[in-house]
Amino acid sequence: MAKAERSLAELYRDDPERADAQAFGRRTDSSRRGFLGGAGLAAMGAAVGGAIPFSANMPAGLIPAAMAQGTAAPAGAPPAAAPKGPQLLDFPGKAKGLVLLGDRPLVAETPEHMLDDDTTPTEKFYIRNNGQTPEGFTEGDAWEFSIDGEVNTPLKMKLGELKQKFAAKTYRMVLECGGNGRSFFQPTARGNQWTNGGAGCAEWTGVSLAEVLKSAGLKPSAVHTGNYGADQHLSGDPSKDVLSRGVPIEAAMEQHALLVWAMNGQPLNNIHGGPLRVIIPGFPASVSHKWLKRIAIRDKVHDGQGMGGTSYSVAIKPMIPGGKTDESNMRTMTSMPVRGIITNPANGTRLPAGTRKLALRGAAWDGHDGVSRVDVSIDFGATWQQAKAAEPRNRFDWRRWTAEVELPSDGYYELWVRATDGKGRAQPHVAGGWNPQGYGANPMHRVAVLVG
Ligand SMILES: Nc1nc2c(c(=O)[nH]1)N[C@H]1C(S)=C(S)[C@@H](COP(=O)(O)O)O[C@H]1N2
Ligand SMILES: [Mo]
């Protein structure tokens, strides 16, 4: 391979802006800017491993999917799509291939192509801890938790009693980290650099949080919840809470808010919060407390660890990316934005020469409004085709979708997916609404494939 070809891929890795300028023409050269032609086209074709049938539509300023940082490129990927491999998680009960984003605290995401199951198996489900990883709780049904604060009858209860007193129900629901998509922000926002894999959709079994709260008798002064768990702060200081978030009381009273002890039909395992956790769908998952010991019912917005400031907060008025933060311009994020992913084929897949029909599969979800449609494009967004999206089983379930696209010739393609929520809000081309801790990035997912 010629040196210049390799260097374009490397340059995209190290200095995307310069690489973009090299391929598409310098910013000062207005006559050429924005078109992939001549030497730029040749270098780009070589870097992505093949001719680019829709090169005329290829947008400047967007890093080609084959060279964008992100999840591991699978075997057989074109060389350009295989940058320095990410570190993989090695954890009991977890599938090979989860990407380790940090080990203290333990954080791992699921690459999009591993979210290909209708229901995310527990072994593929992402992990997000903020504190120490608990050694393992063995209390089982003897696990105790309490509800206090603005209630008439504070409760102290064992998990066994909870199971006996209240009816169990099961919903399939998405759990998604508030920081999912953070790596797409420019400039880099503080925190774990999630791609799209800080999310999964599992069957959660438990009892209605509303029923438990009703049995404690909510006082009229009850406006918010505050969660406390049994995990330890990284510093080892027992007086410090790892995390203590909560939700407006209406969200806790919504019928899908659960106290959960089983995931995918099995007792909730320790790493996902067993014996007992909260699941409040639609919100950033940080309110879905693991190893639950206590819910305090508050007469004001909860002020625990992870509430207020820039934590789980987005800008009210758009702020300058990377600029100074005005905390009075921040509001707590209460709903996750719409997101669609392609789960098959995987990024970097090489298909046999002559492949003309390609089946795509994926998932789409959002916080509270439902997904109204899913569209795919193979020509850098010039034209779109509506995917077939399965109905959700229940509110807060994701929608699995399929589509079949026709490829006019061999070459390099980017498969793009764009989901739209129930209020007509579609995913943007690039992450918008920059905020210091990087919440709410939901640009369209793009997958590079090479035919031939
Ligand atoms: N006790 C406790 N609960 C917690 C956390 C934590 O660190 N401690 N992390 C939260 C965050 S930020 C997320 S995204 C989810 C992750 O749940 P999972 O590890 O089961 O995927 O748990 C939430 N609940
Ligand atoms: Mo999270």
Q: Is 438 left (phi over 0), alpha (psi -120 to 50) or beta?
A: left
Quote the pLDDT of residue 362: 98
Share of the chain above pLDDT 90, in %: 87
> What are the DSSP E strand ranges found in 122-275?
127-128, 144-149, 155-158, 168-176, 199-208, 224-229, 258-263, 266-267
Model confidence at 266, pLDDT cuts 50, 70, 90, reads very high
Which residues, 6+ apart, have CB-to-CB distance to 357 below 8 Å? 404, 405, 406, 407
Model confidence at 36, pLDDT cuts 50, 70, 90, reads confident
Comparing 12-21, 333-342, 400-409, the range with the smallest average pLDDT is: 12-21
CA pair distance 381, 374, nearest whole angstrom: 13
Model confidence at 72, pLDDT cuts 50, 70, 90, reads very low
CA distances 421 to 44, 66, 198, 307, 428, Å, are 34, 28, 19, 27, 12
Residue in 247, 258, 244, 259 with CA at minimum distance from that of residue 283: 247
The residue nearest atom 12 of ligand 1, judged by CA position, is 286
CA pair distance 69, 198, nearest whole angstrom: 16
Ligand nearest to the CA of 178: 2
404/321 same-domain check? no
Per-residue pLDDT at 92 exceeds 70: yes
The residue nearest atom 20 of ligand 1, judged by CA position, is 272
Indicate whether 91 belongs to any domain: no
217/289 same-domain check? yes
Q: What is the DSSP secondary structure assignment for residue 390, as one 8-state letter?
A: P
Share of the chain above pLDDT 70, in %: 93
Quote the pLDDT of residue 7: 79
Domains in the chain, number: 3
Q: What is the pLDDT of residues 319-368, one digit of tens each?
A: 999 999 999 999 999 999 999 999 999 999 999 999 999 999 999 999 99
CA pair distance 286, 280, nearest whole angstrom: 9
CATH code of residue 446: 2.60.40.650
Average pLDDT over residues 74-92: 67
Average pLDDT over residues 143-150: 98
Is 128 close to ligand 1, i.e. is its CB under 6 Å away? yes
CATH code of residue 307: 3.90.420.10
Let me know: does 266 contact 164? Beta carbons within 8 Å.
no
For residue 230, the ligand 1 atom closest to its alpha carbon is: 1
Quote the pLDDT of residue 160: 98
Q: Three-state SS for 241?
A: coil
Is 290 close to ligand 1, i.e. is its CB under 6 Å away? yes
Q: Tell me what the pLDDT averaged over the chain comes to.
A: 93
Residue in 122, 72, 78 with CA at minimum distance from that of residue 101: 72
32/137 same-domain check? no
Quote the pLDDT of residue 134: 94
Quote the pLDDT of residue 82: 47
137/154 same-domain check? yes
Is 231 close to ligand 1, i.e. is its CB under 6 Å away? yes
352/438 same-domain check? yes
Indicate whether 94 belongs to any domain: no
For residue 179, give its domain range: 99-332
The amino acid at residue 447 is: V
Separation of CA 297 and ligand 2 centre (Å): 22
Bridge partner list, 298: 224
The residue nearest atom 21 of ligand 1, judged by CA position, is 127
Indicate whether 306 belongs to any domain: yes
Indicate whether 125 belongs to any domain: yes
229/326 same-domain check? yes
